[in-house]
A and B are shown apart, each in its own frame.
Chain A
């Protein structure tokens, strides 16, 4: 947790990367299959967004070692990006609707 050591298990310190790689590929294939299944649009959006966040968490946590870093750092990075992005997206929607209704 001190941020100076890579994750290490007694057996194989590289195992975490292989497992993460396999899971990321499996999720990617699942997302591609879902996209071709013609499911309801709202369900597809929720499904893909959920899996996108899982992939991002796995890359941040395991590849970038955020899960092994001090919590202060992980919170600063994750909360900073997530909260700002959420605010941006929430403000975009009504503005885009206004432009659509008043300029076309």
Chain B
């Protein structure tokens, strides 16, 4: 390799840390971007369904208990705050505080999933299915189950990651970066809910 190529490689190659982050964190961010695009596609599909049907979309406040959805939002935002605290505590070497906040986050995640299970049960009892529902266009049920189902599955997998991270933190086997990566995923779950909450439940 001659001098010109070496100069180009040093300029465009990015070196060992092109994003100023470890490869683990960079890979987590790339995963988050791709997963965000999955939800972007799902929300676009929802927009398509909603704009391509002649019958009016049901009023969300007549189908859902909006205060209950607000409670779910409160739980998820609070769990994100405790997760952020756990990440910083872990960085500062305060293992007890990190573990305590990880446990708070897990409790928040379980509470959110419990609320979602309750919401699904209620709607199914009222007759909501993937292809039919008592409130009008069948696409409403599809959008509801697909969007909240995908998000719920992410909450569930986030909980599994958090429980493993908490156990390893208790044993002193998780480095601070491990908690940070788990935190990134959990915050992403919260981020996706912000969009579902606004676009599906409020608009």
User: Digit string of B25-48 for contact with A (CB within 8 Å is 1, else 0)?
Assistant: 110010011001100110110011
A32 and B70 contact, CB distance less than 8 A: yes
Query: Considering the chains assembled together, what is the distance between the CA atoms of A75 and B196 in angstroms?
Result: 23
With a 10 A CB-CB cut-off, give which of A13, A24, A95 has the most chain B CB atoms. Answer: A24
Residue on B nearest A51 in the bound complex, by CB: B198
A6 and B194 contact, CB distance less than 8 A: no
A48 and B198 contact, CB distance less than 8 A: yes
B70 and A7 contact, CB distance less than 8 A: no
B70 and A28 contact, CB distance less than 8 A: yes
**Residues of chain A within 8 A of B37, CB atoms compared:** 80-81, 84-85
User: Chain A interface residue count: which class?
Assistant: 35 or more
A39 contacts the other chain (CB 8 A): no
> What is the interface size of chain B, counting residues whose CB is below 8 A from a CB of the partner?
54
Which of B77-85, B111-119, B127-135 forms contacts with chain A? B77-85
A48 and B202 contact, CB distance less than 8 A: yes
Query: Considering the chains assembled together, what is the distance between the CA atoms of A2 and B202 in angstroms?
Result: 38
Total of A-B residue pairs, C-beta within 8 Å: 150
A10 contacts the other chain (CB 8 A): no
* Majority secondary structure, B binding face: helix
Query: Considering the chains assembled together, what is the distance between the CA atoms of A70 and B195 in angstroms?
Result: 25
**Residues of chain A within 8 A of B78, CB atoms compared:** 21
Query: Considering the chains assembled together, what is the distance between the CA atoms of A77 and B187 in angstroms?
Result: 14
- Tell me the minimal C-beta distance from B22 to chain A in angstroms: 8
Known contacts A14-B88, A63-B190, A85-B40, A97 near B19 by CB under 8 Å = no
User: Digit string of B44-68 for contact with A (CB within 8 Å is 1, else 0)?
Assistant: 1001101111100000010000100
Known contacts A6-B91, A88-B40, A63 near B83 by CB under 8 Å = yes
**Residues of chain B within 8 A of A24, CB atoms compared:** 77
A70 and B20 contact, CB distance less than 8 A: yes
Residue on B nearest A104 in the bound complex, by CB: B54
B92 contacts the other chain (CB 8 A): yes
With a 10 A CB-CB cut-off, give which of B89, B194, B197 has the most chain A CB atoms. Answer: B194
Closest 7 CB pairs of A and B: A70-B20, A96-B51, A21-B81, A3-B21, A99-B52, A96-B52, A73-B19
- Enumerate chain A interface residues (CB-CB to B < 8 A): 1-8, 13-14, 16-18, 20-21, 24-25, 28-29, 31-32, 35-36, 44-45, 48-49, 51-52, 55-56, 59-60, 62-64, 69-70, 72-73, 76-77, 80-81, 84-85, 88-89, 92-93, 95-97, 99-100, 103-104
- A–B pairs, 22, beta carbons within 8 Å: A4-B21, A6-B92, A14-B89, A18-B81, A20-B84, A21-B81, A28-B74, A28-B197, A32-B66, A45-B203, A48-B202, A63-B187, A64-B191, A73-B26, A81-B36, A81-B37, A85-B44, A88-B41, A96-B47, A97-B51, A99-B52, A100-B54
